């Protein structure tokens, strides 16, 4: 269904940009020539002539005009060069090189060229050019398939092309996959050559093998994958060569194809033959039609479009060379319930991050966000999560919808499945559909591919076209997703327990897929306890039906309503309706049914007929445990967890699974993250003397008497305002009125202390306690802090001066280790994790079992691996000034630990904060020194660039040094410093403190720095800056109204912007 208005807007934009471009390219030089004449002199002027021209009076203005003309010509040349670069890059289909010296002009040129491209591009958004995938030669094979449209079966021979990379053209590709290297940010070709070939001068061999990707050996891009010469072997990551190496593999023997599944009312079809070559072929299911159709069609079966998928399972990915490069780190995976949770684990972590961001918005000072009782579930998710960028899949699907928006219905693809890997996203179509919108490409009539290098425009305002696309199986590095809405009814058969694991998984992933806009998952027939835990995964998307009969009846009513709505709007399918913005958002509903009884058989059969009659109508059903499985599209899971999807591929996959053992911890983790109530910061667990009297964030506390819980809550409300208990509190006007001319009252940090029982078991409740103004009490606190931490000034001086004799361990930003010994040549990040883990344990140290569980979570490391890694880390740390070892050798029951004297920025931060608070109004210098240790987001990038079976920093989420705890401590310290600076009238210092908080929280999730920044703008009388801050905050919070903000921020905004209203 075309949109002529939108297309007309594109044409108008393109024409405007074209006229502007022509004016700048041709009109500007004409104007300059008319203004100043020929810019080049007839003869070269002498220095005397130049001097005279510059020093004599310019009565006629000729010198001024000449100067303006010269500047104009320089600007014109600076614009023309980027335009030429942009145009040539688009024509050649390569990434546009950056021109740092002309970055401003290049941005203008890129915008104009992209707008002009709208004149010839069909998609609704302009996109950057991408490099299309190479195509392998066509391969013929014979398959037998059940048509999506019809029960008839047809044997056909189809010539198809499978998308491949340059690897398939490497010599020896017929006998196996060559070694490849994926470029990481900061890599260069000579360092890569040194890493994989042992000689940095052999980089030309890599360039020669990859002429399409490497036009200039000095210009390579992150994400590119290079084929490596024969004999290449990974010798370990090093500086400027930190990417992922995939070792060469031998050719696999393809298994025999299995017969395609048949509807119950059709004759058995002949078995499919084995593909003619090991390279898979790609075919398409037939277009949809009624199940009762008597006509025949010519459907074929799609198989995995990647080169080794249908032949045999791909080899396990090699561990990242930065993390595993030799026998020193051999690991043996331990069988665990998280093994098939990969995609859901990654999506859950993304959802958890979003929920944690909301918790941080509501967190009050000197508190922590709520944490689950069992913190190990999050660590297990990190271990299980696959590294695929699922946000990119979401963006790719929305870009697809944007690109198709102007097409008539018949030119939309009929998508049934997708294969996702590190190289590309492949959409499997049921029928031929040419000319995919860029940056999508088509190497086969029934496969649309988005290469990994393709740049995606912002299409976030478009609905995702395939919200019921869900992962059902995986191979290492490859994942199969099917569109439940397109299939209608899917049956999961085979081993009952494994089948139910897959059904749970489908519900869990749909609850967290970014592309599953407004999906509604209904559970029927599941165990009541399991259904309740499933609903906690996302109560907005998952509901529990009272019975199977009720759920089916409700779905049938809604299906009928949707069919009528589609007919009324003229949209062929809900996918077209979403993409063309026709009618509503068409949210899908997926009904998951477990163990239907015999009396439900007829009910399910009738429902299936209705779904067949209205394909892609926004509804789908997944059934497991039926005595007579309904549906034409079976997913079969055996007792070993192997999945067969015979109507799509011959490949054996590992079935996606959400086992019962992971369901409750996962639900508890997400349910807790949904709770915005914060928790008291616990006492410091450190055993060092300086930690006495501090909490885990470095804040001071004093032992408190037993208090009534209500008094505790009241104390918190007095200090920070009431908790977020609902909308009623947002209407509260109990606070003191503030006039427009008055700055918001601030309370110095010295006006509050915190009471916390010093116990290692369950701490008593906290509440703010009034600070004593008694000089003797204040002096006692300062003296106690100096006695407990007498070496703080010396340690701070050693840190700032870079004392080479003492190891310096930094985590308040990207992890950095400066040891007193020799830095390892390889795998620095791996050994750094050992050192950071031990530093976080302090004087307590770590047993061998604790260390192994932390570094190799849910895996088993050989004793040799552990000893070797410890040895490398020990060598890096070096010797103490007296000749000892900073990491002593383990003797008897003594744990691994670092001896006193090493410098750890997180410990220094807490020590400085504690002393600053103890000094009251005189503590600003200490608080500032603590904040000066911050270099960025804590632990920034610790998992970036890893491609390994071992999950780095898996121990971090449930530790006391979890990044979110460190950010909370930094934000609170910055707030205390803001209070002190405001009390002293030092507004620049207060601004500096807010910026330090945002340096640690670059995504600006925490609410307190926003409030401090707004108070500063108000105190300085800068109303326009205050308004800009509020608008910026609304964008960050995706809030439509100020009432959508957290209570404390909303109340502050009201006090700052509507003081007269409050006063009245």
pLDDT of residue 981: 95
pLDDT of residue 316: 33
**Residues 779-806, mean pLDDT to the nearest whole number:** 93
Which residue would you say has higher pLDDT here, 564 or 862?
Answer: 564
State the pLDDT confidence band at 24, using cuts at 50, 70 and 90: confident
Residue 106: partners with Cβ closer than 8 Å, 6 or more residues away: 82, 85, 86, 98, 99
pLDDT of residue 991: 96
Among 245-249, 299-303, 691-695, the range with the most confident prediction by mean pLDDT is: 691-695
pLDDT of residue 907: 97
Alpha helices in 803-923 (DSSP H): 828-841, 848-855, 863-877, 905-918
Instruction: List, in order of start, the domains of the chain with CATH numbers.
Output: 4-117 (no CATH), 390-426+447-669 (3.40.50)
Over residues 399-447, the pLDDT tens digits come to 999 999 888 888 889 999 999 987 789 999 999 988 899 999 987 889 9
350 is written with which tokens? 């993304």
- Give φ, ψ of 636 to 5 degrees: -110, 125
Over residues 926-944, the pLDDT tens digits come to 999 999 999 999 999 887 6
Asked if 108 and 97 touch (Cβ cutoff 8 Å), the reply is: no
Q: Among residues of the chain, what percentage have pLDDT more than 90?
A: 34
Over residues 281-308, the pLDDT tens digits come to 344 344 333 333 333 333 344 444 443 3
Which residue would you say has higher pLDDT here, 29 or 505?
Answer: 505
Bridge partners of 145, per DSSP, are: 154
Question: How confident is the prediction for the chain on average, in pLDDT?
Answer: 76
Q: Answer whether residue 478 shows pLDDT above 80.
A: yes
Q: Answer whether residue 799 shows pLDDT above 80.
A: yes
**How many Cα neighbours within 13 Å face the side chain of 986?**
15
State the pLDDT confidence band at 579, using cuts at 50, 70 and 90: confident
DSSP per residue, 760-783: SS-PPP--EEEPP--HHHHHHHHH
Q: Answer whether residue 238 shows pLDDT above 90.
A: no
Residue 443: partners with Cβ closer than 8 Å, 6 or more residues away: 132, 133, 134, 135, 161, 162, 163, 449
Over residues 540-550, the pLDDT tens digits come to 899 999 999 99
**Residues 775-803, mean pLDDT to the nearest whole number:** 91
Q: Which of 598-612, 762-776, 778-792, 807-821 has the lowest mean pLDDT?
A: 762-776
Q: Answer whether residue 561 shows pLDDT above 90.
A: no
Alpha helices in 283-388 (DSSP H): 342-362, 376-384
State the pLDDT confidence band at 1059, using cuts at 50, 70 and 90: low
Give the residue from 631, 599, 467 showing the smallest Cα distance to 525: 599
Q: Answer whether residue 764 shows pLDDT above 50.
A: no
Q: Answer whether residue 705 shows pLDDT above 80.
A: no
Q: Among residues of the chain, what percentage have pLDDT more than 70?
A: 72
445 is written with which tokens? 């009539």
Over residues 329-340, the pLDDT tens digits come to 434 333 333 446
Q: Answer whether residue 122 shows pLDDT above 90.
A: no
First-last CA distance in the chain: 56
- Burial of residue 420, with CB atoms counted within 10 A of its CB: 0-12 exposed, 13-18 middle, 19 or more buried: buried
Q: Answer whether residue 722 shows pLDDT above 60.
A: no
Dihedral of CA 562/566/571/572: which sign?
A: positive
Over residues 858-880, the pLDDT tens digits come to 777 677 777 888 899 999 999 99
pLDDT of residue 25: 86
CA gap 149, 579 in Å, rounded: 23
């Amino acid at each position: 269904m075309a949109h002529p208005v939108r297309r007309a807007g594109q044409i108008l934009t393109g024409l405007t940009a074209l006229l502007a471009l022509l004016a700048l390219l041709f009109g500007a030089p004409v104007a300059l020539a008319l203004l100043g004449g020929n810019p080049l002199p007839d003869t070269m002027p002498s220095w005397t002539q130049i001097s005279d021209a510059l020093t004599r009076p310019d009565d006629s203005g000729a010198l001024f005009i000449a100067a303006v003309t010269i500047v104009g010509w320089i600007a014109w040349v600076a614009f023309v060069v980027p335009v030429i670069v942009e145009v040539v890059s688009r024509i050649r289909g390569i990434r546009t090189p950056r021109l740092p010296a002309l970055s401003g002009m290049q941005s203008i040129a890129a915008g104009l060229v992209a707008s002009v491209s709208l004149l010839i591009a069909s998609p609704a958004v302009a996109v950057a050019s991408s490099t299309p995938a190479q195509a392998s030669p066509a391969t013929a094979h014979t398959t037998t398939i059940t048509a999506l449209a019809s029960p008839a079966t047809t044997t056909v021979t189809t010539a198809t092309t499978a998308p491949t990379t340059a690897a398939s053209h490497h010599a020896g590709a017929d006998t196996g996959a060559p070694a490849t290297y994926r470029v990481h940010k900061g890599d260069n070709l000579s360092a890569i050559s040194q890493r994989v070939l042992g000689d940095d001068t052999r980089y030309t061999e890599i360039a020669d093998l990859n002429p399409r990707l490497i036009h200039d050996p000095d210009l390579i891009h992150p994400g590119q994958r290079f084929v490596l010469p024969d004999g290449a072997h990974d010798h370990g990551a090093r500086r400027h060569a930190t990417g992922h190496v995939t070792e060469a593999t031998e050719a696999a023997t393809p298994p025999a194809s299995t017969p395609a599944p048949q509807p119950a009312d059709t004759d058995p079809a002949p078995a499919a033959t084995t593909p003619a070559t090991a390279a898979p072929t790609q075919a398409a299911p037939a277009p949809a039609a009624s199940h009762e159709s008597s006509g025949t069609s010519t459907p074929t079966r799609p198989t995995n479009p990647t080169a080794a998928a249908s032949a045999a399972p791909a080899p396990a990915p090699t561990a990242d060379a930065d993390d595993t490069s030799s026998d020193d780190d051999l690991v043996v995976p331990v069988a665990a319930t998280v093994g098939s949770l990969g995609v859901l684990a990654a999506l859950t972590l993304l959802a958890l991050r979003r929920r944690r961001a909301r918790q941080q918005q509501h967190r009050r000072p000197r508190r922590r966000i709520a944490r689950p009782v069992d913190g190990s579930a999050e660590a297990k998710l990190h271990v299980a999560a696959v590294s695929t960028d699922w946000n990119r899949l979401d963006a790719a699907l929305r870009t697809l919808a944007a690109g198709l928006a102007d097409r008539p219905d018949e030119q939309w693809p009929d998508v049934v499945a997708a294969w996702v890997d590190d190289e590309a996203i492949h959409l499997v179509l049921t029928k031929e559909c040419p000319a995919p919108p860029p940056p999508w490409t088509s190497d086969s009539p029934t496969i649309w591919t988005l290469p990994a290098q393709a740049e995606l425009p912002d299409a976030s305002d478009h609905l995702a076209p395939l919200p019921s696309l869900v992962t059902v199986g995986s191979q290492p590095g490859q994942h199969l997703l099917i569109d439940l809405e397109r299939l209608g009814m899917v049956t999961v058969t085979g081993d009952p327990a494994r089948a139910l694991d897959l059904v749970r998984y489908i519900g869990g992933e749909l609850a967290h897929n970014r592309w599953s806009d407004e999906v509604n998952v209904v559970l029927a027939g599941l165990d009541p306890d399991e259904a309740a835990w499933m609903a906690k995964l996302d109560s907005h998307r998952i509901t529990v039906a009272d019975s199977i009969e009720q759920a089916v009846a409700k779905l049938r009513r809604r299906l009928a309503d949707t069919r009528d709505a589609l007919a009324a709007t003229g949209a062929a399918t809900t996918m077209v309706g979403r993409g063309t913005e026709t009618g509503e958002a068409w949210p899908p509903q997926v009904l998951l049914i477990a163990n239907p009884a015999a009396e439900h058989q007829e009910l399910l059969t009738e429902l299936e007929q209705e779904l067949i009659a209205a394909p892609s109508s926004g509804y789908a059903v997944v059934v497991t445990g039926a005595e007579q499985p309904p549906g034409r599209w079976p997913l079969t899971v055996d007792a070993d967890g192997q999945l067969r999807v015979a109507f799509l591929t011959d490949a054996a996959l590992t079935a996606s699974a959400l086992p019962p053992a992971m369901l409750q911890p996962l639900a508890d983790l997400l349910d807790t993250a949904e709770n915005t109530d914060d928790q008291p910061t616990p006492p410091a667990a450190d055993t060092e003397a300086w930690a006495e009297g501090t909490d885990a964030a470095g804040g001071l506390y004093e032992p408190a008497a037993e208090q009534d819980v209500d008094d505790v809550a009241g104390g918190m409300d007095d200090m920070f305002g009431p908790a977020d208990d609902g909308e009623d509190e947002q209407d509260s006007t109990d606070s003191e009125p503030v006039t427009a001319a008055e700055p918001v009252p601030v309370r110095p940090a010295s006006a509050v202390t915190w009471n916390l029982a010093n116990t290692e078991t369950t701490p008593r409740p906290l509440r703010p306690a009034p600070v004593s103004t008694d000089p003797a009490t204040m002096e006692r606190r300062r003296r106690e802090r100096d006695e407990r931490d007498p070496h703080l000034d010396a340690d701070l001086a050693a840190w700032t001066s870079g004392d080479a004799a003492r190891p310096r361990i930094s985590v308040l930003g990207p992890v950095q280790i400066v040891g007193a010994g020799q830095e390892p040549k390889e795998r620095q990040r791996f050994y750094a994790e050992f050192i950071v883990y031990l530093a976080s344990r302090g004087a307590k140290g770590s047993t061998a079992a604790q260390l192994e569980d932390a570094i190799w979570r849910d895996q088993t490391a050989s004793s040799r691996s552990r000893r070797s890694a410890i040895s490398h880390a020990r060598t890096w740390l070096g010797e103490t000034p007296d000749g000892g070892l900073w990491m002593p050798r383990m003797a008897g029951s003594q744990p691994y630990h670092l001896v006193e004297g090493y410098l750890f920025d997180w410990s220094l931060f807490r020590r400085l904060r504690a002393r600053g608070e103890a000094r009251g109004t005189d503590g600003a210098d200490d608080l500032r020194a603590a904040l000066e240790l911050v270099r960025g987001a804590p632990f920034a990038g610790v998992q970036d660039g890893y491609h390994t079976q071992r999950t780095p920093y898996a121990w971090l989420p449930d530790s006391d040094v979890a990044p979110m705890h460190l950010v909370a401590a930094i934000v609170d310290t910055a707030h205390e410093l803001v209070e002190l600076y405001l009390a002293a009238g030092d507004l620049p210092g207060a601004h500096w403190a807010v910026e330090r908080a945002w340096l640690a929280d670059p995504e600006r999730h925490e609410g307190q720095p926003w409030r401090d920044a707004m108070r500063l703008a108000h105190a300085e009388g800068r109303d326009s800056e205050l308004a800009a801050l509020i608008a910026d905050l609304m964008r960050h919070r995706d809030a439509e109204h100020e009432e959508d903000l957290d209570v404390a921020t909303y109340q502050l905004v009201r006090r700052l912007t509507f003081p007269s209203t409050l006063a009245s």
